Chains A and B, each alone.
Chain A
Amino acid sequence: MLSRSRCAYRTLGRSLSAASQANNVLCRQSVSGLTVGSQLVYRNSPPCEFGSSANVPHIRYFKTSTVHREDVVTVKTPAFAESVSEGDVRWDKAVGDSVTEDEVVCEIETDKTSVQVPAPAAGVIEELLVPDGGKVEAGMPLFKLRRGAVSAKAAPSPAAEAPAAAPPPPPPAPAAGPPVAPQAAQVQRVSAIQPAAAAPAAAPLTSAGRGEHRVKMNRMRLRIAQRLKEAQTTCAMLTTFNEVDMSNIQEMRTTHKDAFLKKHSTKLGFMSAFVRAAAHALTEQPAVNAVIDDSTKEIVYRDYVDISVAVATPKGLVVPVIRNVETMNFADIEKTINALGEKARNNELAVEDMDGGTFTISNGGVFGSMFGTPIINPPQSAILGMHGIFDRPVAIGGKVEIRPMMYVALTYDHRLVDGREAVTFLRKIKAVVEDPRMLLLDM
């Protein structure tokens, strides 16, 4: 998974600089007029029709001006500037990678200079003749390139451009298979049909095809998967729902946000209200803050409330923990959330920032979720799921009014928390968020 995204990323990076080159072989704009989705159009070359294409009259083949037949070419190390004699090779491409003409295959570092070695023609890398970091001299054989067999994998960025070329109807693709194969040797073209001579490592990623792609799960993913399944098997998980009228909290925010920002140098968001409400409810109902220790068959009640807040960062999901929330006010909570967010962005989050927690809050609302059942984050007994705020008509005092409403969900371990406790817990959170004065009155 990682390698595929890196490959796409590199090709995109190169296309970006290639796009501004005058001698552009790969022209990203010209994907019009295609009938088979993953064919590439070379702007500089005339279209060429072959006799056997009469079998499938609606497929056109395009050939580049330089390559005429399939063949293996050995590329030698170029001469170095200023009478430098040797350098170190750093491979950018691997065996089996497809390259276009002029695409950089490797760089040679000689004496503080990085020299690019481009591919002389489009094709697939057959063999690397020098190990990565190995020394080369001018004229030494560097790598072998098999011309012509360009797999569709080579073009993730033009393929991304080609949604305009509608996905081809399935029948022509398989029908084109048999008559087309003999042409593979003569024609430099990209199509949905993979020529047999393509490098073994290439995974044909075609828009019409039906290939598969297997990626081994890494241990971390396996661990998380295992833990989630364990949670499901051990806990008796149930979810109770409620809805929260966000008008008061929104109004509080609008009224006080500037002064808040000025005094505390942090923005006032909604998380602090929910975190504070949850802490209040957890101190009133210690069972929700507790956890069952299955090995000793004991219930562990905790005097402190540590709330894990699930945050989606560009680097992935992190769950930093706010410790001793029962002692914090809204400002403290916002500052802590902010500080943890900064740490995450600066790559400073330590193990103790993410370890533990007695309760989790996850916010699906940032992605637009309306309603959903969160899953408990073991070893805990409950999780609060926040969702998106949407204007809805609700009945207030016998009349219909439009209010900004949020659905909230509490998934809990029924072995420890019974139905009435769970519903009361969620109602407490709702009451506090709808009217924060409840906190002052300790109700």
Chain B
Amino acid sequence: MMSHVRSTLSLGRNRSASIATCSGETALVLLSQSNDVFQNLALEDWIEANVDLRRRGVLLLWRNRPAVVIGRHQNPWAECHLPAMRAAGVPLARRRSGGGTVFHDLGNLNLTFFSSKTAYDRRRNLKVVTEALRRLRPALDVRATDRFDILLNGHFKISGSAARLSRKSSYHHCTLLHSADRSALAEMLRPSCPGIHSNATPSVPSPVTNLLDHAPTLQWEELLDALVHQYNAEFSSSSSSSSITVDPGDEAAFPGVGASAAELCGWDWTFGRTPKFRVETVLQLTDERAAARCSARLQVEVKGGVVESCRLDVPDDWLPPRLSSEVSGVLVGGRFCRHRAAAAITELTRSESGELRSRLKDLGDAVLTVIG
């Protein structure tokens, strides 16, 4: 076992100043003590904006309670199952880097390599991971690919990457599957909204596996230590295993991080940032007694998470045209969101009664199922 030094960051502005402006060639390794995906993403933003990365880099290690994280330019309705996530209490987060959708849980380790734009080198970063794994378990066949994934035994993906190049600096982060819940992953990462046409960045699905399945004795702490040690060996003049534990909820140490986390969990960022897309699907409608059925066509255009246009083609004998056009009309201008749609449709059902009303409600429910 390697010896290591872990010190906890004490509170106070002078300590944050030490992280932000510390000079010297020593690479810095930070360990987040939070398991909240929004706090950790906000911490990434804070480090990127406030730490001087020209002289040396920073490595941040973090893990989250179950959450689905989509890439900057992705469409959540196309990438994950919103009702399943809601039922399981799994939040959705949109990160600021590009790339595809991932499922995070406490068995998945996230590594963020911060550097200046000139020192940005994803291959070198991934080498830290593969070398650390090779030292730990030489029998494991781990290799980084051209797409900056890490494959185990040439076939199973254990790590995926994404990156962000901003005005001053850059970061490259990747996942590392140690012991994630694979069935939950499959459950959450399937789309719930049918018929989406969009040019948002798609995810490339791959077969995945956990390190623990292939190296049953590999402990979490052991993995962390090896990575810290390897990072220091690669990026700093001294080879040590020291890391600093940080609390991303500490406003004094990271001023502005709370507001940043609040922005990240807001609807406007998570859903409102979706590139323009169209939904075209067929709804199956039945009336209250399930005696009669019909099909209706739904076409919705959504821009910035808001319904720009909506068209509902319902057979005239099922619902009078004025009612179907009322439904589509009342959805326009509102968010493509279940809550908003339910409130809008309720406005209409209030004025109807009897069979029309139950058919209207059924139509409303079908639309809500599409929205997720």
B320 at the interface (CB under 8 A from A): no
In the assembled complex, which residues on chain B have CB atoms less than 8 Å from the CB atom of A223? 326, 330, 347-348
Q: Would you call B50 and A88 a contact (CB within 8 A)?
A: no
Decide: A2 near B306, CB < 8 A? Known: A20-B50, A113-B163, A114-B97: yes
B168 at the interface (CB under 8 A from A): yes
Q: Would you call A348 and B86 a contact (CB within 8 A)?
A: yes
In the assembled complex, which residues on chain B have CB atoms less than 8 Å from the CB atom of A132? 199, 275-276
Q: How far is the CB of B211 from chain A (nearest CB, A)?
A: 22
Q: Would you call A351 and B73 a contact (CB within 8 A)?
A: no
Q: How far is the CB of A327 from chain B (nearest CB, A)?
A: 24
Task: Compute how far the CA of A412 lies from the CA of B329 in the bound complex, rounded to whole angstroms.
Answer: 31
Q: Would you call A351 and B351 a contact (CB within 8 A)?
A: no
Give the interface segment out of A9-17, A38-46, A205-213.
A9-17
Task: Compute how far the CA of A88 lies from the CA of B275 in the bound complex, rounded to whole angstroms.
Answer: 12
In the assembled complex, which residues on chain A have CB atoms less than 8 Å from the CB atom of B255? 20
In addition to A2-B304, A13-B263, 19 A-B residue pairs with Cβ atoms within 8 Å of each other are: A81-B117, A81-B165, A81-B170, A88-B73, A90-B72, A90-B275, A102-B167, A107-B73, A112-B99, A112-B147, A112-B161, A113-B162, A133-B199, A218-B332, A220-B333, A347-B338, A351-B346, A355-B346, A378-B351
Residue among B49, B272, B340, B350 making CB contact with A21, cutoff 8 Å = B49
Q: Would you call A379 and B165 a contact (CB within 8 A)?
A: no
In the assembled complex, which residues on chain B have CB atoms less than 8 Å from the CB atom of A81? 117, 120, 165, 170
Q: Would you call A218 and B333 a contact (CB within 8 A)?
A: yes
Measured CB to CB, the nearest residue on chain B to A354 is B346
Task: Compute how far the CA of A233 lies from the CA of B340 in the bound complex, rounded to whole angstroms.
Answer: 28
6 closest A-B pairs by CB: A218-B333, A112-B99, A133-B199, A219-B329, A114-B98, A113-B163
Decide: A114 near B100, CB < 8 A? Known: A17-B45, A223-B330, A351-B346: no
Task: Compute how far the CA of A13 lies from the CA of B344 in the bound complex, rounded to whole angstroms.
Answer: 30
Chain B residues packing against A (C-beta within 8 Å): 45-46, 49-50, 71-73, 86, 96-100, 117, 120-122, 147-148, 161-168, 170, 172, 199-201, 255-256, 259-260, 263, 268-269, 272, 275-276, 304, 306, 326, 329-334, 337-340, 342-351, 353, 361, 364-365, 368
Q: Would you call A346 and B86 a contact (CB within 8 A)?
A: yes
Residue among B99, B263, B361 making CB contact with A352, cutoff 8 Å = B361
State the main secondary structure of chain B at its contact with A: mixed
In the assembled complex, which residues on chain B have CB atoms less than 8 Å from the CB atom of A3? 304
Q: How far is the CB of A11 from chain B (nearest CB, A)?
A: 12
Q: Would you call B120 and A2 a contact (CB within 8 A)?
A: no
Q: Would you call B339 and A315 a contact (CB within 8 A)?
A: yes
Task: Compute how far the CA of A405 lies from the CA of B161 in the bound complex, rounded to whole angstroms.
Answer: 62
29 interchain pairs, CB-CB under 8 A = A16-B263, A21-B49, A21-B168, A109-B71, A109-B72, A109-B201, A111-B98, A112-B97, A112-B147, A112-B148, A112-B161, A113-B162, A113-B163, A113-B164, A113-B165, A113-B172, A118-B167, A132-B199, A133-B199, A133-B200, A219-B332, A223-B348, A224-B347, A293-B353, A346-B86, A349-B338, A351-B349, A351-B368, A356-B350
Q: Would you call B350 and A378 a contact (CB within 8 A)?
A: yes
Residue among B73, B98, B163, B361 making CB contact with A355, cutoff 8 Å = B361
Task: Compute how far the CA of A302 lies from the CA of B201 in the bound complex, rounded to whole angstroms.
Answer: 54
Task: Compute how far the CA of A319 lies from the CA of B339 in the bound complex, rounded to whole angstroms.
Answer: 12
Total interface residues on A, CB under 8 Å, equals: 53
In the assembled complex, which residues on chain A have CB atoms less than 8 Å from the CB atom of B329? 219
**What 1/0 flags go to A135-175 for Cβ under 8 Å of B?**
00000000000000000000000000000000000000000
Q: How far is the CB of B42 from chain A (nearest CB, A)?
A: 10
Q: Would you call A107 and B168 a contact (CB within 8 A)?
A: no
Q: How far is the CB of B17 from chain A (nearest CB, A)?
A: 12
In the assembled complex, which residues on chain B have CB atoms less than 8 Å from the CB atom of A104? 167
Q: How far is the CB of B68 from chain A (nearest CB, A)?
A: 15
Task: Compute how far the CA of A219 lies from the CA of B121 in the bound complex, rounded to whole angstroms.
Answer: 52
Q: How far is the CB of B71 from chain A (nearest CB, A)?
A: 7
Measured CB to CB, the nearest residue on chain A to B346 is A354
Q: How far is the CB of A239 from chain B (nearest CB, A)?
A: 22
Task: Compute how far the CA of A112 lies from the CA of B70 in the bound complex, rounded to whole angstroms.
Answer: 12
Chain A residues packing against B (C-beta within 8 Å): 2-3, 6, 9, 13, 16-17, 19-21, 81-82, 88, 90, 102, 104, 107, 109-116, 118, 132-133, 218-220, 223-224, 227, 293, 315-316, 318-319, 344, 346-356, 378-379
State the main secondary structure of chain A at its contact with B: mixed
Q: Would you call A347 and B86 a contact (CB within 8 A)?
A: yes
Task: Compute how far the CA of A354 lies from the CA of B343 in the bound complex, rounded to whole angstroms.
Answer: 7
Q: Would you call A116 and B165 a contact (CB within 8 A)?
A: yes
Task: Compute how far the CA of A116 lies from the CA of B169 in the bound complex, rounded to whole angstroms.
Answer: 11
Q: How far is the CB of A214 from chain B (nearest CB, A)?
A: 15
Residue among B100, B260, B348 making CB contact with A112, cutoff 8 Å = B100
In the assembled complex, which residues on chain B have CB atoms less than 8 Å from the CB atom of A109? 71-73, 98, 201
Task: Compute how far the CA of A352 lies from the CA of B342 in the bound complex, rounded to whole angstroms.
Answer: 9
Q: How far is the CB of A216 from chain B (nearest CB, A)?
A: 8
Q: Would you call A379 and B332 a contact (CB within 8 A)?
A: no
In the assembled complex, which residues on chain A have CB atoms less than 8 Å from the CB atom of B350? 227, 355-356, 378-379
Q: Would you call A107 and B342 a contact (CB within 8 A)?
A: no
In the assembled complex, which residues on chain A have CB atoms less than 8 Å from the CB atom of B49? 17, 20-21
| Most chain A Cβ neighbours within 10 Å, of B199, B263, B346 | B346
In the assembled complex, which residues on chain A have CB atoms less than 8 Å from the CB atom of B333? 2, 218-220
In the assembled complex, which residues on chain A have CB atoms less than 8 Å from the CB atom of B98? 109-114
Q: Would you call A112 and B365 a contact (CB within 8 A)?
A: no
Task: Compute how far the CA of A19 lies from the CA of B338 in the bound complex, rounded to whole angstroms.
Answer: 35
Task: Compute how far the CA of A353 lies from the CA of B341 in the bound complex, rounded to whole angstroms.
Answer: 13
Residue among A110, A133, A315, A348 making CB contact with B275, cutoff 8 Å = A133
In the assembled complex, which residues on chain B have CB atoms less than 8 Å from the CB atom of A118? 167
Q: Would you call B365 and A350 a contact (CB within 8 A)?
A: yes
Residue among B163, B164, B344 making CB contact with A220, cutoff 8 Å = B344
Task: Compute how far the CA of A20 lies from the CA of B342 in the bound complex, rounded to whole angstroms.
Answer: 41
Measured CB to CB, the nearest residue on chain B to A352 is B361
Task: Compute how far the CA of A332 lies from the CA of B21 in the bound complex, rounded to whole angstroms.
Answer: 58
Task: Compute how far the CA of A114 lies from the CA of B120 in the bound complex, rounded to whole angstroms.
Answer: 13
Task: Compute how far the CA of A88 lies from the CA of B338 in the bound complex, rounded to whole angstroms.
Answer: 30
In the assembled complex, which residues on chain A have CB atoms less than 8 Å from the CB atom of B334? 218, 220
Q: Would you call A115 and B165 a contact (CB within 8 A)?
A: yes
In the assembled complex, which residues on chain B have CB atoms less than 8 Å from the CB atom of A318? 339, 343
In the assembled complex, which residues on chain B have CB atoms less than 8 Å from the CB atom of A114? 71-73, 96-98, 162-165
Q: How far is the CB of B118 from chain A (nearest CB, A)?
A: 10
Measured CB to CB, the nearest residue on chain B to A343 is B339
In the assembled complex, which residues on chain B have CB atoms less than 8 Å from the CB atom of A2? 304, 306, 333
